[in-house]
Structure 1
């Protein structure tokens, strides 16, 4: 019995040792095979310096070049509305007229008195020439004529105060009075605004003051006209800085021949700043964003542990600048002429082997217009 047990145990041990030897041989064979991962396919682009126009962005409000809410300079009842709401008028056009029937009657009487005074003066002047009256009679006739003319002129001025006329070319807004309504002196009656050209007012930080100058190109976008830019130039810079916000008020003038832009509209303003030195610009897809620092991968020749040369990537930390559309500027970290990975960045590691395939290039549009999905 013991002999059978020993034979069985020995046979089992031989089988285990044989299997272990085979497995060790397999492991040695596997370890001798190279397990270098295949090169990663990437897309590259050459870093080139280019002119980059920086823009100062701000929020603004449209304002008319000339605008006022007109009112009468006298009390009265509205007798006539000549220019209705939305009408385009010229300077001097009559807009609204108040009842001036009493003043008109008084003016007729004053003009009759002035005519009589003129005749009396002419007679007195003829008599004085003939030495048939005294100098005091001539002076009295002249003074009476002047007083009568002044009375008539005063009534004409009073009537003019009851006529609301356009002080400048523009477009009438929505009137707030109706025929037959009594309006006191100074009450708002009708708004009038000149809309072409039109101003856009906005504020910028005082740090940007040195970058601004009259005539700089300004682009304005309005939510009501999506996708359309209205262009103009910087027309005025305020002479003082707001001490509470440390901002300075700036004004630009825009052409508005179609009068699509209206005063009070919300506007997004971009001021084109002077062009500085050429800057390195790369597609935004080339940036590997990370909390510890943003970086790019530069493709260059490298040597492996065995001394063999291969095409690999070197991770380079960079300082980023302005962004515009699909493009971003790099202030520091990249030299002109270096090959930058612009697609496939997410799968790369420092020193990794790569294979360049530039068949497909990612978009790099400074003003992309993606489909509205």
Structure 2
């Protein structure tokens, strides 16, 4: 019995020692953490600051699009044949009806001559029998047969003439030719590509608009189009067609804009950024996007606060954001006009941190920034 009591006392002492060690460790950790935070708060951190103010804001819809030729085809042949002559230069401008390619038509011309001879004979027979019918030398049935033979012969001539024309490939409309992908002597089947023919002026830009924006666009509305590479020139155009139905898989609708392209800087297949003004200019409270810390629990900013001894500190505040435009973002709530907001250096900050304002270098805050080429 005494041994059992002795073991119980030892166990209680061990448990007590364990609790002392655990709570002692926690207390020391809290003490060091408090000292670290106190030391961190006492440091003065350089930050850039902006005063929240209203900005002129043009409501816009910005979407990506693709440039498409007003007219564009792959030039091909209706009938098979051997290429005899290529008359065009790749990349050249051609007019409607210009001769592009001629297939070998020698056998077809020979057949045409044969049919023309038959038609001539049929005409002679018809005229002769018509004179004989006038004096009742032949029956009306014979004359009718002669007339039918003449019409059939003429039709055969017309058909063969059409065959020859189909083997002479001409430009169906004026435009710019592409690369020639065939050679003289090559056998061409119907549908085989010879080259491409495109009309670049005017030119189309196709893009898609989400369902919720459909009431903000209409036919005739002005658009601005920019390329993502090369020249950053903006091209003006207008909406000419809105598709009749939405794509049920993504709830977007296709829109077509037409642009003048006299310098031919826009080419079919180019990737474009389309901007559409969707309302009147308004005043909106904005900040540089760098001022916002986006977190899973919400977006925050650091507001500058003055304390009694003229020191500057910061206070973290939740904000509700709206649309973005260039470097700027719309602030719907959480910041008032005149509030001073930290725009850079937030990673070093926490509530109550001491700061010094240094605006020698500030983040970009442009609604329409222009990248600078190195």
TM norm. shorter chain > 0.5: yes
Q: Matches of 2:196 and 2:363 in 1, distance apart?
A: 53
* Cα distance per residue 1:273-314 (max 9 Å; x no partner): 421572414351894546453347599xx9979xxxxxx999
Q: Could you say if the C-alpha distance between residues 73 and 140 of structure 1 is closer, same or farther in structure 2, counting changes exceeding 3 Å?
A: same
Partner of 1:201: 206
Q: Does 1:324 align with 2:329?
A: no
Report the CA distance between 1:77 and its aligned residue.
0.9
Q: Could you say if the C-alpha distance between residues 55 and 100 of structure 1 is closer, same or farther in structure 2, counting changes exceeding 3 Å?
A: same
Q: Does 1:256 align with 2:261?
A: yes
Q: Could you say if the C-alpha distance between residues 351 and 47 of structure 1 is closer, same or farther in structure 2, counting changes exceeding 3 Å?
A: farther
1:296/1:318 contact within 8 Å kept: no
Partner of 1:54: 60
The structure with more radius of gyration: 1
Q: CA RMSD in A?
A: 4.2
Aligned pairs for 1:1-373 (under 5 A) are: 47-48=53-54, 50-58=56-64, 60-265=65-270, 267-275=271-279, 278-284=282-288, 287=291, 289=293, 291=295, 293-295=299-301, 297=303, 317-333=318-334, 338-341=337-340, 364-373=365-374
Q: Could you say if the C-alpha distance between residues 158 and 258 of structure 1 is closer, same or farther in structure 2, counting changes exceeding 3 Å?
A: same
Q: Matches of 1:158 and 1:125 in 2, distance apart?
A: 32
Report the CA distance between 1:160 and its aligned residue.
1.8
Report the CA distance between 1:179 and its aligned residue.
0.9
Helix, strand or coil at the partner of 1:372: coil
Q: Could you say if the C-alpha distance between residues 298 and 123 of structure 1 is closer, same or farther in structure 2, counting changes exceeding 3 Å?
A: farther
Q: Could you say if the C-alpha distance between residues 370 and 193 of structure 1 is closer, same or farther in structure 2, counting changes exceeding 3 Å?
A: closer
Q: Could you say if the C-alpha distance between residues 110 and 370 of structure 1 is closer, same or farther in structure 2, counting changes exceeding 3 Å?
A: closer
TM-score, normalised via structure 1 length? 0.70
Partner of 2:17: none
TM-score, normalised via structure 2 length? 0.70
Q: Could you say if the C-alpha distance between residues 220 and 159 of structure 1 is closer, same or farther in structure 2, counting changes exceeding 3 Å?
A: same
Q: Matches of 1:188 and 1:175 in 2, distance apart?
A: 9
Q: Matches of 1:215 and 1:268 in 2, distance apart?
A: 19
Report the CA distance between 1:47 and its aligned residue.
3.2
Q: Matches of 1:326 and 1:190 in 2, distance apart?
A: 45
2:204/2:259 contact within 8 Å kept: yes
1:343/1:362 contact within 8 Å kept: no
Count residues in correspondence.
Answer: 326
Q: Matches of 2:248 and 2:279 in 1, distance apart?
A: 30
Q: Which consecutive unaligned segments of at least 5 residues does structure 2 have? A: 1-45
Report the CA distance between 1:150 and its aligned residue.
0.7
Q: Which consecutive unaligned segments of at least 5 residues does structure 1 have? A: 1-39, 306-311
1:279/1:331 contact within 8 Å kept: no
